[in-house]
A and B are shown apart, each in its own frame.
Chain A
Amino acid sequence: MNKELITLRHVMFSYENDEGAHTEAALKDISFSVHEGEYIAIIGHNGSGKSTLAKLMNLILQPTEGELVIDGISITNAPLSDDTILQVRRKVGMVFQNPDNQLVATIVEEDVAFGPENLGLTSEEIALRVKSSLEMVGMTDYAGHAPHKLSGGQKQRVAIAGVLAMRPACIIFDESTAMLDPQGRKDILATMKRLHQEGMAIVHITHHMSEAIEAERILVVDDGVLVDDGTPEDVFRSPARICNFGLEVPQGADLVARLRQKGVKIEGDCLRADDCVREILAFLKGGTFR
């Protein structure tokens, strides 16, 4: 296992209401680690605390109780210096749901350059980073375009390039595919996969189970509690349990689970469509049912 990049130790978080009193905890006693180069998906129903978790990992919020360690820096509820916050944000980038909220310039190139420019780098270094970041997300051809004329998926990729230009070790995607059409969604997933292969740690928060199974590891959050942490196969083993959390299993796995209930003995996990086809064929051609 690689080095720990982000570690949460018994983290508790509650928002403050208008009177400054703490409301019910949004996160209760959460402990886990994100390792270097790991690809994690976080799933949970609306209001389960997923986004709060993402905001903690990017230091938009600080834990109310417990400890958060990011790249060796310990963070508790004590006030932090601006330097520390910047240092952490440079390590952990974030891509939001709506790309329009994240694009600032009128030309793609300039938008990607916005982050590095603020780091006080030389212009050669900035140009280099912009070029390589756009290459990584496959948007080099659009460097001179206006962001608002791009499709949703393309805008989102420009937003990712902007984060990449900061050279983070981890990128958090907070429902970054929710507003996109099927093609845009595919593009972003492919980009995530590519970044992961290049050694970037990915944390993907999503409501689409078919996207979550692309990760190496899935965390399930339910009402502020981390209720499951394992491989996609482990997490989706019991459809009934997943439904209890307000979630669902991918259609292929759902089909196989239903068939099993009717006494059809199909083996395997069948999370991905192709696995599902293979296992059903293996069963049917095996002739055991005839």
Chain B
Amino acid sequence: MLLTVHVWRQASAEDQGTFVAVSPVEAREDMSILDLLDAVNETLTRQGDDPVSFDDGCREGICGKCGVTVDGVPHGPDKNQASCTQSLRAYRDGDEIFIEPMRAGSFPVKKDLSVDKKALRRVAKEAKFPVALKALGNAGCISCGACVAACPNGSGQLYVGTLLKELPPLAKTPEERNERSSKVLDAAEHEFGPCSLLGDCMEVCPAGLPLENLTEVARENLRRMNPGKYA
């Protein structure tokens, strides 16, 4: 099928970006969003333009590096798939697609579709590496940032809640547990917005992290507010 892809072009972080129409783009249903972007770049190169930059990684949905917003949905039209494991089954011949970077206040755009997702790392780092990475790994979270991008409040509660759920079993002492959770809560407060339980994050999460993880933020906060009350 032939598609018209409106792709976000932004020279640098300071620049004002805009959509640029690229057409025709030869696509197949089984292509992922990153394959589509490769096809876009082929068309652009053929037309003598610069290719678009985008975050690329393992293309197996496990590294969490990739991610763009497709027609307003982070990662793309398929639920719970990273951009690199999506399909184009939602589109028909002649359709127009708008591809822009993952939109979140805490993810500044670097160039074109590439964003800086270090806010996630800054929050996890409060619990000290490598334990934070172990916690995220245990949950299956690949730190792709789609939950933050999907949230109209810019909240990272699915990510933060998952971290807070998996950290306690990895702590050796209660003090260690409290310190890690408390630091993560403070960092999350600084980086992200509040959660309104809209559920968009759960639909985009490639790891399919569940709703139950959201409440961990409230629980760890209550623990901190009432020291000694919870074992």
Bound pair (A, B): no
Residues of A within 8 A of B (CB): none
Chain B residues with a Cβ under 8 A of chain A: none
